[in-house]
C-alpha cells in the first residue's frame, strides 16, 4: 500500500513565525503535491514537484515555498506565517493516481 505521512496532524504557530510542513512517501513516486483545503473553496494546489529539486507553482503559491532535496520528501515552507494561512494542508504523491497524507491542520494566531 502507498503510504504518505505528514510531520504533524495539528500545529499552532504565531504570526511571523517560519513554519515547515514535511511530507514523506514510500512508493518512489516522481510527483509530489501540496494543497490547502478551506471550506467552500475545495482543494487548491500550492506547489508541485515532478523530480528532485524540480518544482512548479500551483494556483496559490504566494506566501509559500517548497523544497525537495530527496525523492521521498517534499517540504512546504511558510516564510512568515500569517493568519490567512490558517488551513488544512494536504500532501499527495503520485504516479498517475494521487495518494494523500492524513493532513496537517495549521492554526496561525
Partner 1 sequence: AQSVAQPEDQVNVAEGNPLTVKCTYSVSGNPYLFWYVQYPNRGLQFLLKYITGDNLVKGSYGFEAEFNKSQTSFHLKKPSALVSDSALYFCAVSPRNRDDKIIFGKGTRLHILP
CA distance 88 to 29: 23
Q: Choose between 78 and 101: whose C-beta lies nearer to partner 1.
A: 101
Name, in order, each residue with C-beta under 8 angstroms of 70's C-beta and a sequence gap of 6 or more.
Answer: 52
Q: Are 48 and 37 in contact (CB under 8 A)?
A: no
Of positions 4, 19, 46, 106, contacts partner 1 by CB under 8 A: 4
Interface mask toward partner 1 for 66-95; x: CB under 8 A: ----------------------x-xxx-xx
With binding defined as CB under 8 A, does residue 102 bind partner 1? yes
CA distance 101 to 104: 9
User: Which residues sit at the interface with partner 1, rule CB under 8 A?
Assistant: 4, 6, 9, 31, 33, 40-43, 48, 50, 56, 88, 90-92, 94-103, 105
Amino acid at each position: 500500500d502507498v503510504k504518505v505521512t505528514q510531520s504533524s496532524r495539528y500545529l499552532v504557530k504565531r504570526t511571523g513565525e517560519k513554519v515547515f510542513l514535511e511530507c514523506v512517501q514510500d512508493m518512489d513516486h516522481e510527483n509530489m503535491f501540496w494543497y490547502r483545503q478551506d471550506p467552500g473553496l475545495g482543494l487548491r494546489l500550492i506547489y508541485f514537484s515532478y523530480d528532485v529539486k524540480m518544482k512548479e507553482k500551483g494556483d496559490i503559491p504566494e506566501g509559500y515555498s517548497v523544497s525537495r532535496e530527496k525523492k521521498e520528501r517534499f517540504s512546504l515552507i511558510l516564510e512568515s506565517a500569517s493568519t490567512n494561512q490558517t488551513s488544512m494542508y494536504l500532501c499527495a504523491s503520485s504516479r498517475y493516481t494521487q495518494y494523500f497524507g492524513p493532513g496537517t491542520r495549521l492554526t496561525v494566531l
